[in-house]
């Protein structure tokens, strides 16, 4: 992610709030009501498995409204801090469409008095959790001839199930009857609805066409901890010779919460079937 582009796009989205002056970086002074996109406390590289995502855990947006003693200031800050509505900072930011990053969540707001150019203002500081592309997500494809390839473009949300895995749409590959072994290698970014230290997310490969498949019946599985805004997981399996059929990516989460298969254009959920050299299939 490019920090300047992230700050600009957040500012552009805030600019859709009527009457709010937006500053995309900290200025010397402001005219209230104003929103200032400030610099983050930190920027995490390699936040998720396989470098699928980098993460900004606290990008501050400071909204200043006027004197603390004015009732109008209270009413304005209340509208901006509301969880919903046309002036809700949370609702407006989380409804945006962005290209500089993939996910954003307004996780909290704190109230304070801030001073700019020797003037004190009632302010609300919103904390944004943002995740986006790190280095390009790469599949570990063994050398050989690609037999088939499939990818999911566009996010997919599914209710988690601790006992079975759900199929990821659009990730079916077909393997012909061949005397050579075939390698299936896949990757996806999984996002839990509520990140937690107690979660485990699984990405698996199984026979295509199942509505749900028990984890002990998949061909291969790999897991991520479910802690970050998006955990990239890679999985592969070797099919023995003469294993024709259709195969698919599956995923699950060890709780009843929803899990999102995050599939931006640069990091789609994908599955490939590869055969080694020679005359191919």
Which pLDDT tens digit goes with each residue over 92-145?
A: 999 998 888 877 899 999 999 998 878 899 999 999 998 876 544 444 444 568
d(CA 259, CA 226): 10
What is the predicted pLDDT for the residue at 263? 63
Tokens representing 1 are 């992610």
What is the predicted pLDDT for the residue at 91? 95
* Mean pLDDT (10-residue bins), the chain, 281 residues: 94 97 95 96 67 78 94 96 96 90 89 89 96 53 74 82 81 91 87 68 89 83 60 83 93 71 71 68 39
From the list 169, 27, 37, 171, the residue with the least C-alpha distance to 96 is 37
Residue 151: how many other CB atoms lie within 10 Å:
18
What is the predicted pLDDT for the residue at 212? 85
The residues with which 202 forms a beta bridge, in sequence order, are 223, 252
What is the predicted pLDDT for the residue at 276? 66
Q: What angle do CA 43, 49, 52 make, to 5 degrees?
A: 65
What is the predicted pLDDT for the residue at 108? 95
Whether the Cβ atoms of residue 200 and residue 223 lie closer than 8 Å to each other: yes
Whether the Cβ atoms of residue 190 and residue 224 lie closer than 8 Å to each other: yes
Structural domains for the chain: 3-133 (3.30.2000.30), 145-275 (2.60.120.1340)
Tokens representing 106 are 């307004």
What is the predicted pLDDT for the residue at 218? 86
d(CA 89, CA 83): 8
């Amino acid at each position: 992610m490019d920090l300047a582009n992230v700050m600009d796009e957040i500012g552009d989205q805030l600019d859709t709030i009527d009457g709010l002056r937006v500053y995309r970086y900290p200025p010397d002074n402001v005219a209230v009501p104003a929103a200032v996109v400030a610099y983050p406390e930190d920027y995490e590289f390699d936040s998720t498995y396989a470098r699928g995502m980098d993460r900004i855990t606290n990008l501050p947006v400071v909204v200043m409204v006027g004197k603390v003693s004015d009732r109008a200031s209270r009413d304005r800050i209340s509208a901006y801090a509301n969880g919903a509505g046309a002036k809700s900072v949370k609702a407006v930011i989380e409804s945006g469409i962005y290209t500089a990053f993939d996910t954003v969540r307004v996780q909290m707001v704190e109230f304070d008095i801030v001073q700019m150019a020797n003037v004190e203002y009632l302010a609300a500081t919103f904390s944004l959790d943002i995740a986006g592309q790190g280095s390009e997500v790469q599949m570990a494809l063994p050398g050989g001839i690609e037999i088939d390839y499939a990818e999911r473009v566009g996010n997919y949300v599914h209710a988690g199930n601790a006992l079975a895995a759900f199929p990821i749409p659009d990730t079916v590959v077909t393997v012909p009857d061949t005397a050579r072994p075939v390698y299936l290698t896949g990757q996806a970014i999984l996002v839990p609805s509520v990140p937690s230290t107690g979660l485990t997310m699984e990405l698996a490969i199984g026979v295509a066409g199942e509505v749900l498949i028990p984890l002990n019946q998949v061909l291969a599985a790999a897991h991520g901890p479910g802690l970050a805004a998006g955990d990239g997981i890679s999985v592969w399996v070797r099919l023995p010779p003469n294993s024709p059929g259709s195969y698919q990516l599956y995923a699950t989460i060890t709780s009843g919460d929803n899990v999102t298969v995050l599939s931006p254009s640069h990091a789609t959920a994908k599955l490939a079937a590869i055969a080694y050299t020679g005359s191919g299939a």
